[in-house]
């Protein structure tokens, strides 16, 4: 079930649960929120089974009946911009532009945004840049899913940049036990130096991590781990499952993108995504 929920779009999906699995409702709704909700449409006598339909939650601010032209233009940019502002209220400096790329000799749509929530808002992106080459949008599907869907394109790429300042702010907001933290990235390693408090105990953590791209996730490999000046690197290596959970960000289903490369250098963590060209059948 969890695997299915990570395949967007969800509109018109149905979920059948039996009593021992009712506890799955809360995490399912968290995954789907705020873009989708689960509406109960049936439950059996005795409430042993429940049947739900996944439906999109459309903001009243969005014009879902707006007429869009066959070719990408300013109307599409304005329509997508309104959707992004609604989906990413925390994001800053969202800008969508389009035009002829003389170097590539093709029409190109570019989206740039900063402080973008990502991966169910577990990760904040300092800067996102998306490039869509020679897009031919589908009006019907785009309006149905409230997101641009393309009949054809010559390739889509996305680059996510995360700097130390963004990571520090995100960690401090999410984990109140952390009082101070510093990130530095260089030569394929990210150094994390953190100070925190657990009860009456003060903690100082100093660690180096390497992000390793694997088939379905990004592994966080600990290269060095010091706790209050005690070197516990050997201890972390004993764990079959790494102490730091992997990043499950290998896909961006909304644009059919897959993570192609991870770079750690010059103060930045960079994730590069690509989607091959698509031709209409």
Do 82 and 44 share a structural domain? Answer: no
Do 205 and 170 share a structural domain? Answer: yes
Q: How many DSSP H helices and E strands does the chain contain?
A: 6, 17
In a domain, 185, yes or no: yes
Strand partners, 37: 55
In a domain, 126, yes or no: yes
Do 143 and 24 share a structural domain? Answer: no
Is 126 within 8 Å of 162 (Cβ atoms)?
yes
In a domain, 62, yes or no: no
Could you tell me the two tokens for 238? Answer: 């004993």
Burial of 21 (0-12, 13-18, 19+ CB in 10 A): middle
Is 11 within 8 Å of 55 (Cβ atoms)?
yes
In a domain, 173, yes or no: yes
Could you tell me the two tokens for 155? Answer: 């390739």
Whether the per-residue pLDDT at 6 is higher than 50: the answer is no
Do 105 and 52 share a structural domain? Answer: no
Q: Which pLDDT belongs to residue 64? A: 57
In a domain, 61, yes or no: no
CA proximity to 53, closest of 86, 97, 17: 17
* Global model pTM greater than 0.75: yes
Average pLDDT, the chain: 86
The sign of the dihedral angle between the CA atoms of 123, 129, 133, 134 is positive
pLDDT tens digits, one per residue of 163-197: 999 989 888 888 888 889 999 998 888 999 999 88
* CA–CA dist 171, 169 (Å, integer): 6
CA proximity to 271, closest of 126, 171, 110: 126
Could you count the other beta carbons within 10 Å of the beta carbon of residue 107?
17
∠ CA 229-232-237, rounded to 5°: 155
* CA–CA dist 85, 105 (Å, integer): 31
* CA–CA dist 142, 151 (Å, integer): 10
- Give the helix ranges, DSSP H, for the chain: 2-5, 25-32, 74-87, 139-145, 164-174, 233-236
Structural domain of 45? 2-56
* CA–CA dist 142, 254 (Å, integer): 11
Q: What confidence category does residue 274 fall into, taking pLDDT thresholds of 50, 70 and 90?
A: very high
In a domain, 64, yes or no: no
* CA–CA dist 278, 132 (Å, integer): 11
In a domain, 63, yes or no: no
Do 28 and 83 share a structural domain? Answer: no
In a domain, 161, yes or no: yes
Could you count the other beta carbons within 10 Å of the beta carbon of residue 15?
19
Strand partners, 198: 201
* CA–CA dist 55, 14 (Å, integer): 9
Do 128 and 36 share a structural domain? Answer: no
Do 77 and 30 share a structural domain? Answer: no
Do 134 and 31 share a structural domain? Answer: no
Do 155 and 20 share a structural domain? Answer: no
> What is the side-by-side order of every strand in the sheet holding 14-18?
14-18, 49-56, 36-43
Do 151 and 116 share a structural domain? Answer: yes
pLDDT tens digits, one per residue of 52-92: 888 776 555 455 567 899 999 999 999 999 889 988 889 99
* CA–CA dist 27, 33 (Å, integer): 10
Q: Which pLDDT belongs to residue 78? A: 92
CA proximity to 155, closest of 3, 246, 273, 262: 273
Do 241 and 187 share a structural domain? Answer: yes
Number of structural domains (the chain) is: 2
Do 163 and 110 share a structural domain? Answer: yes
Whether the per-residue pLDDT at 128 is higher than 90: the answer is yes
């Amino acid at each position: 079930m969890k695997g299915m929920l990570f395949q967007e779009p969800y509109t018109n999906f149905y979920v059948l649960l039996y009593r021992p699995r009712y506890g799955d409702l809360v995490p399912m709704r968290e995954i789907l929120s705020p873009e989708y909700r689960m509406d109960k449409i049936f439950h059996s006598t005795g409430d042993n089974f429940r049947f739900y339909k996944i439906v999109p939650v459309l903001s009243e601010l969005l014009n879902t009946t707006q007429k869009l032209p066959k070719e990408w233009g300013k109307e599409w940019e304005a329509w997508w911009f309104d959707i992004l502002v609604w989906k990413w209220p925390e994001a800053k400096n969202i800008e969508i532009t389009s035009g002829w790329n003389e170097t590539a000799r093709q029409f190109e749509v570019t989206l740039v945004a900063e402080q973008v929530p990502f991966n169910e808002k577990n990760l904040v992106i300092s800067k996102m840049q998306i490039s869509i080459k020679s897009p031919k949008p589908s009006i019907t599907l785009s309006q149905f899913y409230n997101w641009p869907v393309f009949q054809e394109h010559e390739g889509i790429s996305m680059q996510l940049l995360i700097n130390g300042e963004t990571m520090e702010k995100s960690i401090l907001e999410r984990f109140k036990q952390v009082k101070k933290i510093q990130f530095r990235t260089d030569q394929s390693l990210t150094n994390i130096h953190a100070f925190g408090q657990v009860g009456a105990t003060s903690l100082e953590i100093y660690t180096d991590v390497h992000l390793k791209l694997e088939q379905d996730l990004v592994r966080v490999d600990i290269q060095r781990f010091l706790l209050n000046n005690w070197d516990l690197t050997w201890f972390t290596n004993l764990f079959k499952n790494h102490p730091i959970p992997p990043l499950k960000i290998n896909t961006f289903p909304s644009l059919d993108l897959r993570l192609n490369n991870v770079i750690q250098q010059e103060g930045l963590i960079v994730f590069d995504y690509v989607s091959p060209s698509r031709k209409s059948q």
